[in-house]
């Protein structure tokens, strides 16, 4: 069996490692458009902020491919799919046969068609990140275009380097897909206090030598302009090959396209009308596809999304249907704008269908578990928002957290799995990460994993 994987980013590299774990003998060839080994794109904001080095966000060690008998071609993008002969053709002219093919081509940054946009730098790849860092060393002021997740992380990272930053956003409030109006406004006020000037409801008409020109004619001065205007699934190969493409490459519950020998996963795939732009669904899809490819039976039924903002001094988690109001659901809300705190629960039929937690909160773990499982919501709503005020301890404590509780959302790692690998000899976070992959996605579960490991060591009197 010859497996070819097109794309070696977060989805493609995970698929390759999942397949190799299940089948040590299958012939695997992976093609990556970038010359670099795969890296964690989610953690690029840490690189931009200076809290991580580029080598610290690598997903697979360069020696992994040879030791696991995987052929990897970096910097040689696939240019054509020949479905009749079952070959892929690369830009260098190489023809590689396949029995099964996986498309993991990801997304490209959206570049607005405005004059002078070539003066700006997209924030998408590690190369982009390094260009931004280099430009920031001599820049006097920066502008970031786009107030979604990436734009906010880029703006906060640059502000953390001491650079005055203005964030421009077309919508009326930040992260409008994940947050309601008040949460977006509170987030903007928090960022403003951290050195990021927020301008919402504005549109850029051009990038000039001295800054960004707005539609209204105003020039926002800057000598570094960063684009974070969203992403678009890379579907050209699939469309040219005659596969069904809508927003993404259409797949069924086995992640197969309408050609049963071709799969698609990650940001380029569209399942049940949804294209997911987060890492956890891509890794869930990789596991299902790997099962099917190696002869197992597995089905992908969609993912429940939890969005975490990774910006220093800004704590934000959003999940599910956050925009619903009182006319459609039970809404429990608390806001303290002076402290940058906003908390919201959206409940339907006694179950949590959405939540926003902005500002430091010890409720994130409990609410994420409730949302992920779809279990009934306790009657004490205030106790959910403010666990410290509840009469009984909450499940965030390692002592009371059930073994089935999911600790790492990106990799579906439970407390029970962490306990099991600890009992097998993993005595620190690095060892747990190696055994379970916990903390290797967005990284926001690291404190929880440290807490569980520390608690286990304390219970057994083990020194680390």
What tokens appear for 132 in the block?
Answer: 């931004």
Fold (topology level) of 117-229: FAD/NAD(P)-binding domain (3.50.50)
76-80, 117-121, 209-213, 431-435: range with lowest mean pLDDT: 431-435
CA distance 274 to 269: 8
Pick the CATH number of 397-464 from 3.40.50.1360, 1.10.1510.10, 2.40.40.20, 1.10.10.1100: 1.10.10.1100
Q: Work out the angle between the directed axes of helices 446-460 and 429-436 (0-180°, nearest 10).
A: 110
What tokens appear for 223 in the block?
Answer: 């000598």
CA distance 304 to 150: 20
Which CATH number does 2-107+232-293 carry? 3.50.50.60
Domain 313-395, CATH class in plain words: alpha beta
pLDDT in tens, 7-43: 999 999 999 999 999 999 999 999 999 998 899 988 8
CA distance 247 to 305: 19
- Is it the case that residue 135 has pLDDT exceeding 50? yes
Same fold, 117-229 and 313-395: no
- Is it the case that residue 397 has pLDDT exceeding 80? no
Task: Kindly list the domain boundaries of the chain, sorted by start residue.
Answer: 2-107+232-293, 117-229, 313-395, 397-464
CA atoms within 13 A on the CB side of 408: 28
How much is the pLDDT for 28? 98
CA distance 327 to 271: 30
How much is the pLDDT for 389? 56
Average pLDDT of the chain to the nearest whole number: 91
- Helix (H/G/I), strand (E/B), else coil: 454: helix
How much is the pLDDT for 438? 85
CA distance 173 to 184: 5
| pTM score, whole prediction | 0.86
Helix/strand/coil (H, E, C) string of 382-450? HHHHCHHHCCCCCCCCCCCCCCCCEEECCCCEEHHHHHHHHHCCCCCHHHHHHHHCCCCCCCCCHHHHH
């Amino acid at each position: 069996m010859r497996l070819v994987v097109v794309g070696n980013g977060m989805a493609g590299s995970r698929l390759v490692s999942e397949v190799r774990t299940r089948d040590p003998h299958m012939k695997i060839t992976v093609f990556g458009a970038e010359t670099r080994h795969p890296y964690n794109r989610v953690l690029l904001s840490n690189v931009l902020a200076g809290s991580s080095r580029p080598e610290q966000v690598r997903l697979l060690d360069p020696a992994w491919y040879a030791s696991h008998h995987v052929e990897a071609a970096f910097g040689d993008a696939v240019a054509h799919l020949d479905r009749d002969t079952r070959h892929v053709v690369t830009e260098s002219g190489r023809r590689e046969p396949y029995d099964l093919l996986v498309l993991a081509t990801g997304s490209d940054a959206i570049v607005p068609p405005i004059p002078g946009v070539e003066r700006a730098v997209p924030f998408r790849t590690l190369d982009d990140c390094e260009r931004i860092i280099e430009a920031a060393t001599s820049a006097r002021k920066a502008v970031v275009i786009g107030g979604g997740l990436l734009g906010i992380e880029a703006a906060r990272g640059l502000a953390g380097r001491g650079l005055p930053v203005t964030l421009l956003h077309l919508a009326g409030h930040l992260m409008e897909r994940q947050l309601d109006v008040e949460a977006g406004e509170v987030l903007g006020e928090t960022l403003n206090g951290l050195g990021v000037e927020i301008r919402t409801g504005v549109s850029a008409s051009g990038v000039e030598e001295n800054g960004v020109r707005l539609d209204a004619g105003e020039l926002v001065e800057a000598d570094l302009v960063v684009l974070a205007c969203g992403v678009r699934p890379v579907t050209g190969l699939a469309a040219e090959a005659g596969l069904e493409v809508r927003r993404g490459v259409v797949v069924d519950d086995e992640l197969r396209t309408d050609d049963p020998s071709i799969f698609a996963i990650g940001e380029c795939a569209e399942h049940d009308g949804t294209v997911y732009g987060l890492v956890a669904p891509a890794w869930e899809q990789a596991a299902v596809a790997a099962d099917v490819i190696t002869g197992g039976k597995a089905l992908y039924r969609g993912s429940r999304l939890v969005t975490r903002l990774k910006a220093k001094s800004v704590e934000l988690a959003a999940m599910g249907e956050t925009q619903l109001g009182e006319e459609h659901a039970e809404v429990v809300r608390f806001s303290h704008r002076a402290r940058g705190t906003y908390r919201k629960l959206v409940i339907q039929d006694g179950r949590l269908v959405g939540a926003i937690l902005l500002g430091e909160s010890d409720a994130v773990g409990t609410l994420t578990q409730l949302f992920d499982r779809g279990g009934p919501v306790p009657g004490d709503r205030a106790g959910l928002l403010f666990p410290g005020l509840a009469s009984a301890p909450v499940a965030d404590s390692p002592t009371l957290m059930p073994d089935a509780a999911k600790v790492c959302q990106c990799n579906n790692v439970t407390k029970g799995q962490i306990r099991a690998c600890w009992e097998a000899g993993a005595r620190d976070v690095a060892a747990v990460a190696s055994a379970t992959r916990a903390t290797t996605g967005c990284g926001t579960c690291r404190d929880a994993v440290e807490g569980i490991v520390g608690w286990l060591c304390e219970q057994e009197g083990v020194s680390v």
